[in-house]
Chains A and B, each alone.
Chain A
Amino acid sequence: MQKSAAEETAVYRATTHSKTQFLFDNERFLGTIFLAPAVIYIIALVGIPFIMAITFSVTDVTVGDTSLDFVGLQNFRRIIQTPQFQRALKDTFLFTIVAQIFVAILANILAVILAQEFRGKWIARMLIMLPWATPISLGTIGWLWIFDSKFSPIDWILQYFGLLGTPDAIFGASKHLNFLGREELAMASVILVHIWRMLPLAAVILLAGLTSIDSDLIDQAQVDGASFWRIHFQIRLPLIFPIMSIALLFGLIFTFSDMVVAFVLTRGGPVYYTQVLPLWAWFKGIDGGSLSEGAAIALFLFPLLLVVAILMLRVARRSEVR
């Protein structure tokens, strides 16, 4: 193609090798300056704080006295012996695992449904995504009202159907269930909100996996007379396994490290029965001012996060090989 004179001069000017020009063509140079800000930011504000967290955990630093005096593993030893720790550790694992089991089951059902075509799907998807898309501290406020000790809509429904508040009702003669004031119910409430919050993310990740499956494969199986469930369990599930594990690992991390749900819903109560590790770390470290103990408690989250990260890498690598 013939180029106009103006274009030619432009090209000529652009190809003239000034010094900056040279630098901006050097891939190594460009690659380094492009990546440097991100790496520096992460080292300065993730790497260094992480090292500080470890340092704090073996000192006696507090908000009032910020000098770092080495005390060895004393903080860890003291923490582990408290009943709060044992409870917090148990709760953190229990909430995470129970919530993820429910999320795994429900997300499978939901993803299969959302893979169908039906009217109003866009609206349905938006409503289902709301819990994930909106700030969890605000969403949990809605639940706080739903679990209210006096005005709970659940209590009202149960009373309406005669299941609560009459002498022979299944849920008891008391007018109110008092969800957040009773140990088991408070724990169940926190778990329910976690399920509610993580289900949408898991479902859409699974959905993305389902829609990426070659439809010929499913058609073939249908022609061969395989039932819907057989296709689901023997063809779809194995194919989307890598993606499903990523969805669940995300859920695991987000639930495991979350303190918002427990904070807004119960403040860790009744007593300390829903006080998960991150929440206790916050109460100790920030509210109570003992930075060292708070840091030590928070560090108990690390081993599990590490395991999850390794698992994720393995899943990602395996799906790449395919």
Chain B
Amino acid sequence: MWAVKNAIKRTLLYITVMIFCFFSASPFLIMLINTFKQDADLYRPQNNPFIYNFPPTLENLELLFQRTNYMIFVRNSLIVGVLVVLITLVIAIPGAYSLARLTGQWGERAGIGIFLVYLVPPTLLFIPMFRIVAALNLNNTIWSLVLVYPTISIPFCTWLLMGFFKSIPRDLEEAAMVDGYSHLMAFLKVVMPLSLSGIIAVIVFTFTLTLHEFVYAMTFISDSTQRTISVGVPIELVRGDVFFWQSLLAAAVIVALPVGFVYNLFLDRLVAGFTMGAVKG
């Protein structure tokens, strides 16, 4: 009796898991299938959309890589991503350490203040930002994004790293300082190596953020060769009212799957950041 009940429970569990997986993954599944579909297959409403009614083809990928600016978008996104990650690390690591150890009581409050900045959405600020970027002569270049994206990544990453630094026992640095290191050296030689996993989480978060961002990228840049993936794909791969559907879907899924995979590896750490320390990660 107990065994039967248990078996039913397990089955229900698996069915529910499958329903959720299907809901979440179906757009990507459709993208993946359509990537290799011939026009004649795709554009016939009576064809089964989930199988290949005609043999699969690589033509859509060829079109995407050779006759669109897709690779330029990818390159731009990589440049922006790497630079924003560097800026974020250089600013957020010391800032977080300062809030965790050096600034005493008001450090806590300043930390929460910085976290709240993360809640300011681009849609609130994109209009003045557009003017600032134009005034600095950065409009229509990827440098505008390199300048502005850290405003989103620094608050969250400072917050995340602050929690991380707090979890490292103070004794370790004090021991190093007793051994003659300055506080700065103790931080660099003792705290930094121990925080490596937190720093990697920050890199992943910041990089995915630069890939995700859409509002600023669409506002600042109208030159096709300066666009990043998130805007370039939905806007440029549509020619007037003609969609190159398979190439468009391929362009999306090629980015989506690897990013999703890597993000998932660091999920627990990022969740600890999102819960504001209410849960220890």
Contact = CB atoms under 8 A, between A and B. Distances in A.
B103 A141 contact: no
Contact of B125 (A46, A205, A286): A46
Contacts of B183: 24-25, 27, 30
A282 B95 contact: no
B280 A212 contact: yes
Contacts of A99: none
Contacts of B94: 33-35, 37-38
B123 interface: yes
A145 B30 contact: yes
A99 B35 CA distance: 30
B215 A260 contact: yes
Nearest to B111: A35
Interface in B55-108: 90-92, 94-95, 97-99, 101-104, 107
Interface in A119-159: 124-143, 145-146, 150-151, 153, 155-156
A133 to B, nearest CB: 4
Contact of A38 (B21, B154, B182, B256): B154
B124 A301 contact: yes
A216 to B, nearest CB: 18
Contacts of A315: 278
Contacts of B142: none
A64 to B, nearest CB: 12
Interface in B28-55: 28, 30-31, 34, 42-43, 45, 48-50
A31 B212 contact: no
29 contacts: A11-B179, A14-B185, A30-B183, A32-B98, A34-B94, A35-B95, A41-B150, A45-B150, A52-B131, A53-B124, A53-B127, A128-B25, A129-B260, A129-B264, A130-B260, A135-B211, A139-B27, A141-B249, A142-B31, A143-B27, A145-B31, A145-B245, A153-B50, A156-B48, A205-B271, A205-B274, A260-B214, A264-B234, A309-B119
Interface of A: 10-12, 14-15, 21, 24-25, 27-28, 30-35, 37-39, 41-42, 45-46, 48-50, 52-53, 56, 66, 106, 109-110, 113, 116, 118, 124-143, 145-146, 150-151, 153, 155-156, 175-176, 196, 199-201, 204-205, 207-209, 212, 242-243, 246-247, 250, 253-254, 257-260, 263-264, 278, 281-282, 285-286, 291, 294-295, 298-299, 301-302, 305, 308-309, 312-313, 315-316, 319
